Structure 1
Amino acid sequence: MRRSLRFVSRTVLLFLVMQLSVSCSPRISGEGSIVPPAIELAKGESSQKYNIQLDFMKHHMSGMLIVRRMPDNEIRIVASTYFGLSLFDFSLQDGKFNVNSCIEPMQKEKVLKLLEMDFKRLFLSEKSIRAKMSKDGSTEKRASGKGFGKSVLYITGDIPGDPVQIKIKHPWIRLTIRLDKLSKEI
């Protein structure tokens, strides 16, 4: 009886090890290495424009996000609705996040902290991110954090640093932010 239990337990252990080694998709980088920003902005370059969609539970908000690197190396992030209501105006400079303006419902410390983490992951290089590429090579998945602070970035596009679409998901709080790049003519 003991012999068969040892055999079964070793077989199950061997099977689990084989499954883990086969099922793991290839990593771009391991934990601890620096992952480049999802969106790279050059100094003096014209603004990059994105359609932005914020989905929180049953609530939906959409508009336009405009991002620009200023001459003093400040990254300015402005979002507004299509009717002209300014949602927020943030800036990133030397790793510091500044709130220049923000609508009342978003002026909560936890909401602003969450947006700070998301925008830093988009525009600054970071450690402690697990990055994987899809099998067909079209989508990169970056995961970071645990529990309520967990977020997953899906980056779609052929050119590194210039994605066509970015989707940020916060599974525990059911928040999804989607950015679709607009053409230069707009």
Structure 2
Amino acid sequence: MRRSLRFVSLTALLFLWIQIQTSCSPRMSGEGSTVPPAIELTQGESSQKYNIQLDFMKHHMSGMLIVRRMPDNEIRIVASTYFGLSLFDFSLRNDQFTVNSCIEPMKKEKVLKLLEMDFRRLFLSGKDTRVKATKDSATEKRTSGKGFGKSVVYITGNTPGDPAQIKIKHPWIRLTIRLDKLSKEI
């Protein structure tokens, strides 16, 4: 009896110690600091274009993502396949997310909410995000949320606000979104 009680106590202490160690991950500049957007869009600038790959479990979709900041400070996000099928068309403002059009398989409330959170983290400043850089400072890792809402964003590129590649992973639901910047000539 005493042996099992001692084992349970030691296990509980070990679990508590692990939780404390993992919750103390470094932040960008202190608790609750504002993290700049991964992609900075300036008003009047031409559209930014990315190759987009959506991998959900065994399903794969790829195409082109076009993003532009409109004159009324609206961020317009359009994705289409290379054959011209429009996957989605979203409008994003400070506190408003509008679905202009979307293909039927993505018209689920939880899927749209997940995409809204991802695009807010990419194009708007955010809080409650843990930021780490790799040893060679080539990749930045931003982690936010918990449970099914947890997302990990990997930003690769030399220029802050203009990354060459972004990878968004949702580990609990096995969803990966990859954006590769296209050259301005395309």
Same fold (TM over 0.5): yes
| 1:157 equivalent in alignment to 2:157 | yes
- Separation in 1, partners of 2:118, 2:44: 24
C-alpha displacement of 1:95: 2.4
Extract structure 1 runs of 4+ deviating beyond 4 A: 24-27
Structure 1 pair 137–43 and aligned structure 2 pair: CA distance change class (3 A): same
Q: Following superposition of structure 1 onto structure 2, how do residues 99-110 of structure 1 map, counting pairs within 5 Å?
A: 99-110=99-110
Residue number in structure 1 paired with 2:135: 135
Q: TM-score w.r.t. structure 1 length?
A: 0.86
Contact 2:32 2:128 in 1 (8 A): yes
C-alpha displacement of 1:93: 1.6
| SS at 1:113 equivalent | helix
Q: What is the one-letter code of the residue matched to 1:152?
A: V
Contact 2:140 2:155 in 1 (8 A): yes
| 1:46 equivalent in alignment to 2:43 | no
Residue number in structure 1 paired with 2:68: 68
| SS at 1:67 equivalent | strand
Residue number in structure 1 paired with 2:5: none
| SS at 1:28 equivalent | coil
Number of positions where the alignment pairs a residue of Structure 1 with one of Structure 2: 171
C-alpha displacement of 1:25: 7.6
- Separation in 2, partners of 1:97, 1:31: 27
Residue number in structure 2 paired with 1:113: 113
Contact 1:57 1:174 in 2 (8 A): yes
C-alpha displacement of 1:27: 4.3
Identity percentage over the alignment? 83
Contact 1:53 1:62 in 2 (8 A): yes
| 1:147 equivalent in alignment to 2:147 | yes
Contact 2:26 2:131 in 1 (8 A): no
C-alpha displacement of 1:128: 0.5
